[in-house]
Amino acid sequence: MFMRPPPARRSFSLPRLTPVRRPQSIARNPSLHFFHTSSCTRLTARPELLPRRRKILQDARGPAFQRPLATAVGDPLRQDAVPFGHLQPQIPNNYGHPSGLRPYDLRAFDPSSPLLLKIHDDPSPRSKMTPNGVPGGIDEMLSVFDACVQVGKLNRAALVLERFSDLGPQPGYDLVALHNRYLRAVIDRAFEQSDSEWAQSLHKWYELHIRGANLPQTPETIALMLKVSLLSTQGPRLERLVTRYMDMMPGDAIYQVLTEVDILNQQDFGMITSIYQPASDLLDDWEFPLQEDEPQQSATENSSTEPPSPAGAELEPEGVPEVLAVPQKGLGLESLRGVLSFFSKINDQDISKLPPAERREIQSRLEQDCVDAAVNRWREENQSLLAMGRTSSLSAPGLNSQLYDWHLALEQKLTVEFKLIEESETRERKNEDDQDRCIYGPFLKQSSPARLAAVTIMSVLNAIASAGADRGAPLSSLLSQLSKTVEDDIRQKIQQTDFDSRKSQLKNLAREAYVARRQQQADSTSQPTTQIPDIAEAMSNIIQAPLYEVKSWPLLIRTKVGVALLSALIDTAKIDVAREHPTTKELVKQRLPAMAHTSVIRKGKKVGIVMPNKFLVDLLKREPRGDFLARHLPMLVEPEPWTKFDKGGFVQYPAHLVRVKYGERDQRIYAEAAVKRGDMEQVSKGLDVLGRTGWRVNMPVFNVMLEAWNTGEEIANIPPLDPQIPQPPEPESCDNPVQRREWIRAVRAVENEKSGLHSERCFMNFQLEIARAFKDQTFYFPHNMDFRGRAYPIPTYLNHMGADHVRGLLRFAVGKELGENGLRWLKVHLANVFGYDKASLKERESFAKDRLADIYDSATDPLRGKRWWLQAEDPWQCLATCFELKAALESPDPTKYVSYLPVHQDGTCNGLQHYAALGGDLWGAQQVNLEPGDRPADVYSAVADMVKEDIAEDLKEDNFLAKAVDGKITRKVVKQTVMTNVYGVTFIGAKAQVLKQLDAAYPNIEQETSVPMNLLASYIATKIFKALSTMFRGAHDIQYWLGECAGRVCRALTPEQIERIASGEITTVKKPSSSNPRVTKSKKPADQLLSQFRSTIVWTTPLRMPVVQPYRKSGTRVINTSLQDLTLQIPDRSDPVNRRKQLQAFPPNFIHSLDASHMLLSALECDELGLSFAAVHDSFWTHAADVDVMNRVLRDCFIRIHSEDVIGRLASEFEARYKGSIYLTTVARGTAIEAKITAFRKKNKYTTKEELLLERERQQLLASSDPEEVKKGQAMVTPASIYEEMSASQPLSSNDEMEAIGLGNIPDKDSVSEAVPHEEDDDLSVPSNHIRGELCLDNQGDPEHYKALMSVSRFESELTGEAKKAAQKSKTKSKRVTGINVWLPLAFPEIPKKGDFDVKRLKDSQYFFS
């Protein structure tokens, strides 16, 4: 598609903002951040529509791109296809390859110039709401103004503008841009009015609020006022107005006015030039085509409501049995089947054979939301029930039909609410309800009552079911989910409306492009040095962050919208209940409220919840949620390439390049800036490669799975339809209440297990339905990534990252001949999925050869034969390989067999591989197959052996724990803990992992040994951590270095912050009292200073993607609603960082970013070599014939990444990113340095702030170019200078924070308790083994001490006071002061010395990935 060159403007440029004529996404976000620079607007144009200039030679660049407008709209941005490229300066091509570099070559990165985000605090404190219902926060006012303009509430938009004017000039938004939007909206409404009063009011508005307020007038403002004059005035007055407004534009700025072609049409242009002489001179050189054809209608703009069906498609499929539905009465499943009903009409028709336009149309229709389809299904079932007669005494009606009643009632309620909103907005004296309606009213009116009702019902039911229907949904989370769903639905609707209305604008764009070219030529002669701001900004590494979030609704708006909709649903939703009369045995029907709002006490706090009726709970337990599924299905066409942060993936459904949660703004700002600079080119293209891989359903496996599913039996990982789990016998009545409580707990566990199996079967039901629908199609998985760069498929239910049965169902859409090596790798793959993956490659190949009879039997009769494939670790993938291998061996020439099966190559604990390479750890490299070897090393077995050796030592000391686990340590027991330890698993998490494995392998171990399983799991986890710390010394040092860097950054103040502190800009911040949120108290000066620690950890991956850790301590805000007062967290970038989370998460997140870079780099090279490629993090898939090539690529990419000084580059980036910062550290008491600093403080009596500013002054003097100032700085005495004088190295972070960083480190009980939230205890009847398990956190204690405590229940410990003593001891320990605080200039510790391992040796390792 084309890009319009931005005209050179003398002031600053503004995008064309109008909600009707030329809608743009930026128009809905009126922050000045988006308006300070010219924004390239995407265009398409047909060459025959371009105006011609007389007597001008044809452009030497040749004819324009011959592409119809309609089909060019979705094209990725390619500068080399722009016919007007000569009109714009040489902007760096973000998607072109630098000269001589291949797509998979690492790009040069200067760590001394990373992307830097400049953060400015909000200078405008939140004020109270006005009597007119205008909110007090600027972000809220911006959102309300935008919504009012969208729905035509221009009187309220004017009130918001007036309040903006009252605030005076404020950074963060552009007042004149908001006025321009208001003028546009009024002009659009003018076509509906017959008088000219609107024009007089606009002239008055302009004089009073724009010109009278001395706001900078833009070409857009002048063009709008010209439009007002042209529409409302004639004769001499028109001439005076046109001349007056045009004279306001200095010099050649009239060109800029004439480029506003979405305001001024061709007739307006002619009228202006006939009146204003300077503009009329342009006519001599311009000629426009006599006729302008309408652009062709694209496939995505088809007006039909149903996707086209291929010719000859049958209406009913034959030969494929239905998927046996889980008993669930069909809301979720029927929703899914309704979405997939299109596929039933094209039996055996492969959509991939259709023309691209038709395929794209089908894809667009599938992506459109299923809200209307859901309402139709509710209506159909309701009408069907009415036809049978509602008085049927069989049972209460199903939920589907009742949902239609809900929908009608809620729609009627919202219709009434819309009328109340109108009344509230016009009422002079507004009460609290009126003010609330003035806030949320414009947002609700962007949709319709019918659609809002449907979205509300589906979202609330989904939220309740997700939270656990019988427990109720917390009000805050339910409101968040509901409002987010409504916001997304409204934004998608607006986006679709914008896309449709854009068709009417296309014919004007050619003239705009030509006018821009004329102006460019004029400027090039008169002002050859004109600079375009966009270029300088694109090449700059400084990001000016917007102060206000306008891309999503603020928290106040979301809460008010959510409460309004939820309250209406609670009032109107009724459920029909049929119960048997206890005496007459007749069915009695009642209509009861479906849900209610109440409050409960959780963790000592009063929490609001929405509790569903118990009869609704029963229905929800039988029905999986199936709404909004259409947006999460695989695509039928290749995904759109990623060209922007929010442009790529699906054809219509909006998706983001990076997954960010609400409030995490920094990652989005960094990512958008990186995309603009071209830094994300390789990352986005790598995601494109993953998305272009075509898939099909493996029909032989699907047929077996479908047959197994329909039997209802437990086969492989398919749960049984009716699980036979025996109920524990009820104890006889006795005086021991503990025995009865234990029985109740056992019964609850059985019910939970049954419920879990049912939920799992329902989810698999969805997956099989989708697979059945797509059985004849080629489909694709669009990908995006998390904030660390790890790629994930966007379709939720069916993708290759699913469980074993989903992976077994999928095969590549394109096949390749096996060849000799491919046949060998197919046999190796069989051994791998069976679980025989730690032998040599020859032994794995022999494994398959020796079991050919079992393989043939499995492929011939999977369910009635010997079922050998069910013994595999991954049975469904094993069965798929059996089918493929049998077919290949039975073919005339197995090497010529075309195979479609993905063959996997898995890394050996990929995180440890990266750590071993970073630290040059030779022993660690050998354990994870970086070092060449004849056989594959197995780090999990090595750790298991070390644990066994340690347990054997304990056996010699007669340790009762060692006796209990002797002979029970296997590779599987330790594997998950070893794998996740490198990614930051806590000791409690590791204990839970071991507990899960013990319970699966030895379910009766507690009865056999009389030792609680929690205690045994803690004992084993301790041994695993100890083995890891011994085995990977180099990795351990790297982890400590990363954690130490993070700890210092999170306690640092930036130069900008220190400057603000010095100037006194930091005002007293009030925070809510912990006892009463409504009572606020001022922070102490020292605490106020410490609350300024906002520096989060930011780094750049080898593929130049910026990564921002999102962990902050969010503030809270009390919002009054009609349901209850809500205390909600408000995430904001000005929040102080959560230092513990930042520090402990950085090492694993950094490793994740490295393995993500390795995967994407490998994807780019494999794509360049013509390989089909898929990945599941550190498991890479391709055809059997290409495994050797892919393995070479994997080794080469890993070597290329680690041949660079990754840690050294990170250190350089940190030094540049945090240059000039000063951080607060702790100096241990009792040292000589501490004594001297304490003496200095006793003498000078400096406050914390004064010491900070003193050190700042010293650093400025030392950095001066004046020798006298340098000497003065050297003579100054500060705590930091005392450090330097005594030649002390900078201290490490406190031990309690660093304990959880290194490989195999076990934090003590207190630090673990701080880091991990305590589990909720409902009463004193907590199982005794739960308490006993927690006792073993202090792993250095005497085992006999725990043995003595095993018989002590929590109740007994409370009675004896032991629990209170332990809590007091822990509290006293946590308050112990270990040092004094000192401000030091931020410097980073020395990089750990690298070991002897050379990563280039990896080239010869055949087991790196195998």
Provide CB contacts within 8 A for 68, sequence distance 6+.
Answer: 46, 295, 296
> For 667, phi and psi rounded to 5 degrees?
-60, -40
- Closest by Cα among 946, 918, 917, 919 to 929: 917
Q: What is the CA radius of gyration of the chain?
A: 34
Name the catalytic one among 688, 854, 1167, 1178: 1178
- For helices 737-773 and 699-711, give the axis angle rounded to 10 degrees: 140
- The residue count for the chain: 1410
Distance CA 653, CA 367 (A): 6
Residue 188 to residue 192: CA distance in whole angstroms: 8
Strand partners, 544: 118
Residue type, 1120: N
d(CA 608, CA 1122): 13
CA distance 803 to 174: 51
Burial of 1033 (C-beta count, 10 Å sphere; 0-12/13-18/19+): middle
Token couple for 247:
């004279």
Antiparallel, parallel or unpaired: β 1098-1100 and 1106-1108: antiparallel
Secondary structure in 3-state letters for 523-549: HHHHCCCCCCHHHHHHHCCEEECCCCC
Residue among 1124, 1137, 1147, 1060 at smallest CA distance from 1095: 1137
Phi-psi region of 1221 (alpha: psi -120 to 50; beta: other; left: phi over 0): beta
Q: For residue 465, what are its two tokens?
A: 């079911």
Active-site residue, 1087 included: no
C-alpha 205/C-alpha 217 separation (Å) is 14
What tokens were used for 894? Answer: 């197995």
Cβ 303 vs Cβ 595: under 8 Å:
no
Token reading at 858:
């499995």
DSSP track, 1117-1153: EEEE-SS-EEEEEE--TTSPB-HHHHHHHHHHHHHHH
Q: For residues 1383 and 1171, give the distance between their C-alpha atoms in angstroms, rounded to a whole number.
A: 55
- Indicate the residue type of 488: D
In sequence order, which residues have a C-beta less than 8 Å from that of residue 125 and are 6 or more positions away?
A: none
Taking the C-alpha atoms of residue 867 and residue 876, their distance in angstroms, rounded to an integer, is 11
CA–CA separation, 458 and 473 (whole Å): 14
Q: Which residues pair with 1119 in a beta bridge?
A: 1126
Residues 111, 1215: Cα–Cα separation, whole Å: 9
d(CA 947, CA 944): 5
SS3 172: coil
- Reduced to 3 states (helix: H, G, I; strand: E, B; else coil), residue 792 is strand
Told to judge if 1135 belongs to the known catalytic residues of this protein, a careful annotator would answer no
Q: Which residues pair with 644 in a beta bridge?
A: 647
Task: Write down the catalytic residue from 59, 488, 618, 906.
Answer: 906
> How far apart are alpha carbons 500 and 270 in whole angstroms?
28
Q: Is 842 an annotated catalytic residue? A: no
Contacts of 1032 (CB under 8 A, 6+ apart): 912, 915, 916, 919, 921, 923, 924, 927, 1303, 1304
Q: How far apart are CA 795 and CA 783, in angstroms?
A: 8
Sequence-separated (6 or more) residues with CB below 8 Å from residue 349: 309, 310, 312, 313, 776
Active-site annotation, residues:
906, 975, 1178
